[in-house]
Chains A and B, each alone.
Chain A
Amino acid sequence: MYETQYHRASSVQDAVKQMEAAGEGKYVAGGMTLIPTMKQRLAAPSDLIDLRHIGEMQGITVSGRSVRIGAATTHHDVASSAALKAVCPALCSLAGHIGDPHVRHMGTIGGSIANNDPAADYPAAMLALGATIVTNRREIAADDFFTGLFETALEGSEIVTAITFDAPAQAAYQKFANPASRYAMAGVFVARRDDGDVRVAVTGAGANGVFRHGDMEAALVANWSPDALSNVSIDASELLSDIHADAAYRANLVKVMAKRAVAAA
């Protein structure tokens, strides 16, 4: 790790102030991606501003079907929230399968979506749930938030403070894990609303990161069943290829995971 200066922020306002004073600063919450990346000297922030102790970024609020999750809420706390489980168990299950128990004790939902790793799980949920990303400056629709590999709509010192969404009628997430890293090689989150609207988001497979799949959504709007996806084609040319899975295999996995998610929802 290169040299860095650590700062602990006491509030969102304090964090922004510290970031603006820093040279090449970065926010850190759980640090479960950032610290390993810094250890490998692939990131070299001059300053680290720690958001983990900011009270206003913690916690889960559910009122009716409306959900608000503070950005510094850990995966463990999302996975084990009874209130959330009552309205959107799919998101609890997703959070309960990120990384491992130790990573889930530190890693946060805000950190995950702000990093937008193409194999991370949360971005798929955010897209499929039609979530809103709340920052210290504005609210951004998930559809506008994830802009490419490790790229988001966040600017400068902007901080994700919370995410909000209305719980869907049915939802599920299925992932096929990379045998080595255990990140998603293909993960599909499906969500269906009472009005029949369906969103399908895919992570781990896209060459440009998380994406929605319009054809699968249309097929499922017409017929909410796994079989409805049988004739949908998944374009392999837009998918990742690596030593673990080529694009054709990933295309297969996307469809299989989507079917299984619909079956599980």
Chain B
Amino acid sequence: MGVEGIGARVARKEDKRFLTGKGRYTDDMSVPGMKYAVFVRSPHAHAKILKVDASAAKGMPGVIDVLDGKQLLADGIGNLICGWMIHSKDGTPMKMGAWRPLAHETVRYVGDAVAIVVADSVAEARDAAEAVVVDYQELPVVTDATKALEPGQPQLHPEAANNLIFDWELGDAAATDKAIAEAAHVTEIEIHNNRLSPNPMEPRATLGIYDNGDDHYTCYTTSQNPHVARLVMSAFYNVAPENKLRVIAPDVGGGFGSKIYIYPEEIVCLWASKRTGVPVKWTSDRTEAFLTDAHGRDHVSKVKMAFDANNRIIGLKVDTIANLGAYMSLFSSAVPTYLYATLLSGQYDIPAIHANVRTVYTNTAPVDAYRGAGRPEATYLLERTMETAARELGVSPAELRRVNFIRSFPHQTPVIMNYDAGDYEASLDAAMKAADWNGFAARKADAESRGMKRGIGMSCYIEACGIAPSAAVGSLGAGVGLWESAEVRVNAVGTIEVLTGSHSHGQGHETTFAQLVADRFGVPLDSVNIVHGDTDKVQMGMGTYGSRSGAVGMSAVVKALDKVEAKAKKIAAHLMEADESDIVIENGELKVAGTDKAVPWFQMALAAYTAHNLPAGMEPGLKEGAFYDPANFTFPAGCYICEVEVDPETGQTKIIQFVAADDFGNIINPMIVEGQVHGGLAQGIGQALLEGVHYDASGQLLTASYMDYAMPRADDLPSFQVSTSNTPCPNNPLGIKGCGEAGAIGSPPALINAITDAIGNNALTMPATPQKVWAAAQAAN
């Protein structure tokens, strides 16, 4: 490893612009003639739209136009779609109800967009939006998914009887039932996974620009995957053909899943730009973000875990109801199925698993992938169940896990996944040592002397990252392939541009992707630029989510680098009259091995472009592209341990220490990997301790601002102890697994296991607010 190569703790290239206020986010974009949009949104969770009267609004100061859903329909703009087909166990396809970018008949959640106002300023647009008179006929409302399945409840979409979208299963029901029947012990538990709001600090925004000279559209947007946005807007929403639509996702201020999807606002602003003849910018405020950004989680599950007399798990049965909200968002169907039930084997050798998942419409915001997406739900379910089982069986939580760990690889689980590599005991040992697990009893006694209740809890998680082999996901219903593309352009002076379909919105790709190049060619990091986020520059890409940028995006870069290296060696061999197999690349030079002959990197590049002296038949230039389609998922895993003190008088939980021991495979930049873990842990701790979306019975969102939605703040969290012990992934060229979601996946059960250990009451749901913990502690006394 060089000082700037693979494995080096390099400070980030992109930091200077962010630290000096020169980041360029979508809301920072300004073009001549630009006007501002405000959306008229439904105040009701369920209602028929009888009439939209914009006549007064249109006459207000600064107003350019007000456009509604009927006009959008008339112009042929299509429905929003869910891009992953799931079939129910009876073979019928999922029941996808129509989602209009602007509702014109029915609104189905508070915040559903009804009209767009375009005006000279945001304030004037908002003034006018208040003057748009929408005549609603209110309909009955259901927000709870379990209740929505009952007969007689309000029906959201005519396609979905009893609001059931699909009733899907995975695994062997008969074998699992048999294992439960024959078990020495069965642990039963009901698990609630609380609904969350992703809350990237940059609210969503979009700027739609229609150029009537070229009949061309430009869309600046806060997206994790601008190419997918272009594809979907072109192929399904009829905004414009792909060659007439450029999508740019400039600096993006965090995503966490919520900026994967193509929302109504991008579509409507592009359309409105054509209708009004002016560029149209919309920026969400935080309340709109709470109302309309896709939420995450919201599962209720019944679990049975069967053990034999030796405490080995012999079967796992899971029955889950997943709330998908009012409409099916882009990947909503995949999250509680193939990103969830396929991970229910965890780190354990379980011979029989059966999962049944019912997804349900309710009068709430759409639910889709949020950091971890399905895997946190699986991990929380498993690790809470394991902890509960350990308590019931009277064995230590570590021992119960050790007895059941998978120890040889590859390992085929009963739920599709084939684990390629791992060492779960190594992570468990590392975490227990770092947490001084054995010294806990003394610390607990000390806490008791101070009137505090101390608890410790662990969680052993596994996740599937690097989504995903295209043919495999295609066979499971995905509407797209999940490869990634890269292009490496060596300029005539030897500097290098790498174009990638991955998108950085905090992950540091401009640094880590450049490290791959510096490592390969020994060129300075400063001579490498990473280009991403613009469909006019990068040919095609699938974007960043599911911890795939390293395992998939970087692998594509490696493939392109292989091609560049091969051609560069040919050129150098020709220049030095050597055999190309003797050429080595070191410290920015192409050398003939074993001699003092060398050509500097830039000279080789110049030769490629002057083309005065190239091998016979070689094309000039040095630019190579590659597509990489992964052979398998990758399987990061690890062990997290949390130690807490609960104040029994107030129910306040203080995290004393949080230890994370992860296996991410090979690591490109440990500093950035640690940062990813820290952030994931904070979000997982937020889920466990603070965060929860609440709707009241009428479908009003009670947590629509930071006054009521508790975001983790600095003083809610400790400094974290993170470490890695890595088994390289055998299925990609860099041996990397991915690290972006682990923290959010592994941490919630560790925290809840610790709190329930402290208070001596296992009945506790997330978020473990002071009130809930206090009540549970009271009940335990």
Contact = CB atoms under 8 A, between A and B. Distances in A.
Interface of A: 1-3, 40-41, 176, 179-182, 243-246, 249, 252-253, 256
A243 B694 contact: yes
Contacts of B581: none
Nearest to A249: B771
A180 B708 contact: yes
Nearest to B123: A1
B188 interface: no
Nearest to B689: A179
Given A2-B127, A180-B711, A252 B774 contact: yes
Contacts of A182: 713
A182 B713 CA distance: 10
B153 interface: no
A41 B287 CA distance: 13
A252 B130 CA distance: 43
A235 B775 CA distance: 18
Given A2-B127, A180-B706, A256-B650, A246 B711 contact: no
Given A2-B127, A176-B650, A244-B769, A181 B774 contact: no
A181 B706 contact: yes
A179 B127 contact: no
B123, B706, B708, B713: residue with the most chain A Cβ atoms closer than 10 Å: B708
Interface in B338-383: none
In the A-B complex, the 10 residue pairs with the closest CB atoms: A180-B710, A179-B710, A181-B707, A249-B771, A256-B649, A245-B771, A180-B708, A243-B694, A243-B702, A179-B690
Contacts of A249: 651, 770-771, 774-775
Interface in B691-749: 694, 702-703, 706-711, 713, 716
B649 A243 contact: no
A243 B710 CA distance: 12
Interface residues of B, number: 26
- Secondary structure class of chain A's binding surface, majority of residues: loop
Interface of B: 123, 126-127, 130, 287, 649-652, 690, 694, 702-703, 706-711, 713, 716, 769-771, 774-775
A182 B705 CA distance: 13
Contact of A180 (B127, B709, B775): B709
B288 to A, nearest CB: 12
Nearest to B771: A249
Contacts, number: 48
A96 to B, nearest CB: 14
Contacts of B709: 180
A243 B703 contact: yes
Contacts of B126: 41
A252 B709 CA distance: 23
A179 B769 contact: yes
A176 B771 CA distance: 11
Contacts of B703: 180, 243
13 contacts: A179-B716, A180-B703, A180-B709, A180-B711, A181-B708, A182-B713, A243-B702, A243-B703, A245-B770, A245-B771, A249-B771, A249-B775, A252-B650
B710 A176 contact: no
B717 to A, nearest CB: 13
Nearest to B694: A243
A119 to B, nearest CB: 10
Contact of A246 (B694, B708, B771): B771
Nearest to B711: A180
Nearest to B692: A243
Contacts of B707: 180-181
Contacts of A244: 708, 769, 771
B705 to A, nearest CB: 8
Contacts of A179: 690, 710, 716, 769-770
A43 to B, nearest CB: 15
Given A3-B127, A243-B702, 16 more contacts: A1-B123, A2-B127, A176-B652, A179-B770, A180-B703, A180-B706, A180-B709, A181-B706, A181-B707, A181-B708, A245-B770, A246-B771, A249-B771, A249-B774, A253-B650, A256-B650
Contacts of A246: 771
Nearest to B651: A249
A23 B709 CA distance: 36
A47 to B, nearest CB: 17
A40 B706 CA distance: 13
Nearest to A180: B710
Contacts of B716: 179
